[in-house]
């Protein structure tokens, strides 16, 4: 397999964890490149469910190297909790199998407090996960964040923390919160730094060296293209670049490093948190999808909003994330509906839009234009090849491919690894001896 990026092609929760876990079998290294523990990637292996928030979903394959890249924001307490849980179950026992970028930024208690206070002050305007993601990226861009390399040097960490606390406490108290003290944070976090030190390194160099040695790399996106800070439904977005380009900046590799981009889309649409959702269903069909799909957020447990598949949004994702193929998940959940609908455009006034408008409120009053297809009956969860699917379900997939302009490589009909059918290779090996990144210059 060539180097591949796996990204969400909707508003997150598309089933990336399962697909990353599955394709990790063919990779040597799995890399997270953006977001933090706002993500919740659910994996079901041998009937056992694991939810990962920070550690790449490749970790359940023994012997794979997991990398947390510079673009990820790391809550050290959460990360250590995840490491402990995995080690108790026999994974990650070899510390050389996980590497954390020395340039990744830290989520600290005041980031979480600010996230919560701001949500409370604005009655949950964005509906964030309250994990401190936005405030941490703000500090990164404002050039006052604390990075892993600083964290593992106790003196530097203490100095930067003291400087930051002074400024941040003013904002906390202005929002009605209680100012934070330096010492309790040091007491809790310095032991975390001691434990994490062994994993911290220059992961960009590691990835380049690995690629030169022909090791195969899988980049695991979090959230989805419509939650991307630049290309999503701003301001109802997360604070990082969830599109495939984020893999370059968030892992320290160039675009030439990437051979394929697999976009994951549910067969319908879901969204957690606030923000526009043109195809949202609030009646019986929405309830059916919600129930059959078990649609609750893996991180916050919040119910997910459900709706028909939105091809305007999906085509936007195909473009901004440069998808080379699609994986369509949860096709089984739609069984039992008499008719299924696909949104092909947005009607506003007398006009039909076929792209996502940028301006604030631009999606609020659009009426989805639907194409109606016959639904399908029966239990799809046992299907293992495309011809085994009901003809209506196959026609639905073919129509989605046509409208997306990208072929489906994988179809998922349940949470288990085995409940997946491959229609084509999502990352055919594109490498040749003369690829620029493998040239030896004398």
Catalytic residue selected from 21, 41, 105, 332: 41
Query: Is 102 annotated as catalytic?
Result: no
Cβ 423 to ligand IMP shortest distance, Å: 26
Per-position x/- string for 25-44, each x denoting binding to ligand IMP as judged by CB under 6 A, each - no binding: -------------xxx----
The DSSP call for residue 441 is P
Tell me whether strands 309-310 and 339-348 are parallel, antiparallel or unpaired.
parallel
Residue number with the smallest Cβ distance to ligand IMP: 273
- At residue 81, the 3 state secondary structure works out as helix
The Cα 223–Cα 200 span in angstroms is 24
The Cα 171–Cα 61 span in angstroms is 44
Q: Please report whether residue 73 would count as binding ligand IMP according to CB under 6 A.
A: no
Q: Please report whether residue 233 would count as binding ligand IMP according to CB under 6 A.
A: no
Q: Which residue has the tokens 């447990």?
A: 301
Count of positions on this chain that bind ligand IMP (CB under 6 A):
20
Q: Please report whether residue 56 would count as binding ligand IMP according to CB under 6 A.
A: no
Q: Of the ranges 82-90, 149-157, 220-228, 310-318, which one interacts with ligand IMP (CB under 6 A)?
A: 220-228
Smaller CB distance to ligand IMP: residue 65 or 233? 233
Q: Of the ranges 65-73, 85-93, 131-139, 164-172, which one interacts with ligand IMP (CB under 6 A)?
A: 131-139
The Cα 309–Cα 269 span in angstroms is 5
DSSP per-residue codes, 323-385:
-SEEEEE-GGGGTT-SEEEEEEEEEETTEEE-S---STTTTTT-EEEEEEEE---S--TT--S
Spell out the SS3 assignment of 241-296.
Answer: CCCCHHHHHHHCCCHHHCCEEEEEEECCEEECCCCCCCCECCCHHHHHHHHHCCCE
CA angle 303, 228, 224 (to 5 degrees): 50
Cβ 369 to ligand IMP shortest distance, Å: 26
Q: How far apart are the first and last CA of the chain?
A: 29
Cβ 14 to ligand IMP shortest distance, Å: 9
Cβ 93 to ligand IMP shortest distance, Å: 28
CA 247 from centroid of its chain's CA atoms: 11
- At residue 147, the 3 state secondary structure works out as strand
Smaller CB distance to ligand IMP: residue 24 or 129? 129
Q: Please report whether residue 273 would count as binding ligand IMP according to CB under 6 A.
A: yes
Q: Please report whether residue 131 would count as binding ligand IMP according to CB under 6 A.
A: yes
Partnered with residue 63 across adjacent β-strands are none
Q: Please report whether residue 107 would count as binding ligand IMP according to CB under 6 A.
A: no
Q: Of the ranges 96-104, 125-133, 197-205, 330-338, which one interacts with ligand IMP (CB under 6 A)?
A: 125-133
CA 414 from centroid of its chain's CA atoms: 19
Which stretch of DSSP H or E encloses residue 221? none
Cβ 126 to ligand IMP shortest distance, Å: 5
Q: Please report whether residue 227 would count as binding ligand IMP according to CB under 6 A.
A: yes
The Cα 249–Cα 323 span in angstroms is 18
Smaller CB distance to ligand IMP: residue 38 or 412? 38
Is residue 240 within 8 A of residue 223, CB to CB? The reply is yes
Smaller CB distance to ligand IMP: residue 127 or 374? 127
The Cα 46–Cα 145 span in angstroms is 41
Q: Please report whether residue 136 would count as binding ligand IMP according to CB under 6 A.
A: no
Q: Please report whether residue 9 would count as binding ligand IMP according to CB under 6 A.
A: no
Q: Please report whether residue 265 would count as binding ligand IMP according to CB under 6 A.
A: no
Smaller CB distance to ligand IMP: residue 46 or 361? 361
Cβ 150 to ligand IMP shortest distance, Å: 23
CA 397 from centroid of its chain's CA atoms: 23
Partnered with residue 72 across adjacent β-strands are 35
Cβ 227 to ligand IMP shortest distance, Å: 5
- Which residues are identified as catalytic? 13, 41
Binding site for ligand IMP (CB under 6 A): 12-13, 38-40, 126-129, 131, 133-134, 222-223, 227, 236, 238-239, 272-273
């Amino acid at each position: 397999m060539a180097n591949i990026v796996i990204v969400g092609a909707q508003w997150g929760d598309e089933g990336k964890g399962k697909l990353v876990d599955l394709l990790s079998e063919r990779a040597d290294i799995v890399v997270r490149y953006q977001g933090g523990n706002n993500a919740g990637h659910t994996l079901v292996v041998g009937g056992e469910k694991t939810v990962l928030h920070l550690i790449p979903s490749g970790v359940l394959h023994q012997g794979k190297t997991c990398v947390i890249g510079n673009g990820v924001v790391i809550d050290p307490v959460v990360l250590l909790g995840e490491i402990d849980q995995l080690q108790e179950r026999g994974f990650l026992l070899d510390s050389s199998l996980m590497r954390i970028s020395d340039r990744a930024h830290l989520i600290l208690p005041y980031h979480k407090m600010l996230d919560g206070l701001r949500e409370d002050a604005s009655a949950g305007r964005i509906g964030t996960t309250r994990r401190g993601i936005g405030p941490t990226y703000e500090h990164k861009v404002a050039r006052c964040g604390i990075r892993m390399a600083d964290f593992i040097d106790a003196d530097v960490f203490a100095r930067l923390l003291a400087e930051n606390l002074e400024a941040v406490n003013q904002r906390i108290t202005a929002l009605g919160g209680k100012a934070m003290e330096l010492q309790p944070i040091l007491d809790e976090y310095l032991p975390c730094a001691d434990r994490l030190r062994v994993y911290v390194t220059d992961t960009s160099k590691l990835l380049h060296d690995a690629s030169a040695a022909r090791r195969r790399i899988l980049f695991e996106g979090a959230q989805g293209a419509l939650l991307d800070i630049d290309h999503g439904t701003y301001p109802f977005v997360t604070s990082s670049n969830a599109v495939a380009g984020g893999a370059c900046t968030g892992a320290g590799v160039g675009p030439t490093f990437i051979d394929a981009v697999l976009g994951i889309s549910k067969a319908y649409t879901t969204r957690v948190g606030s923000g526009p959702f043109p195809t949202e269903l609030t009646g019986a069909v929405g309830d059916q999808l919600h129930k059959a799909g078990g649609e609750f957020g893996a991180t916050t447990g919040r119910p997910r909003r459900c709706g028909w598949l939105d091809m305007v949004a999906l085509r936007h994702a195909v473009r901004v994330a440069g998808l080379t193929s699609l994986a369509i998940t949860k096709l089984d959940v739609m069984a039992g509906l008499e008719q299924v609908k696909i949104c092909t455009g947005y009607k506003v006034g007398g006009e039909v839009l076929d792209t996502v408008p940028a301006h604030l409120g631009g999606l609020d009053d659009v009426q989805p234009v639907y194409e109606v297809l016959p639904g399908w009956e029966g239990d799809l969860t046992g299907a293992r090849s495309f011809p085994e699917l009901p003809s209506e379900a196959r026609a639905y997939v073919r129509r989605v491919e046509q409208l997306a302009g990208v072929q489906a490589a994988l179809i998922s009909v349940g949470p288990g690894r085995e409940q997946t059918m491959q229609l084509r290779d999502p990352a055919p090996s594109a490498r040749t001896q003369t690829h620029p990144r493998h040239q030896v210059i004398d």
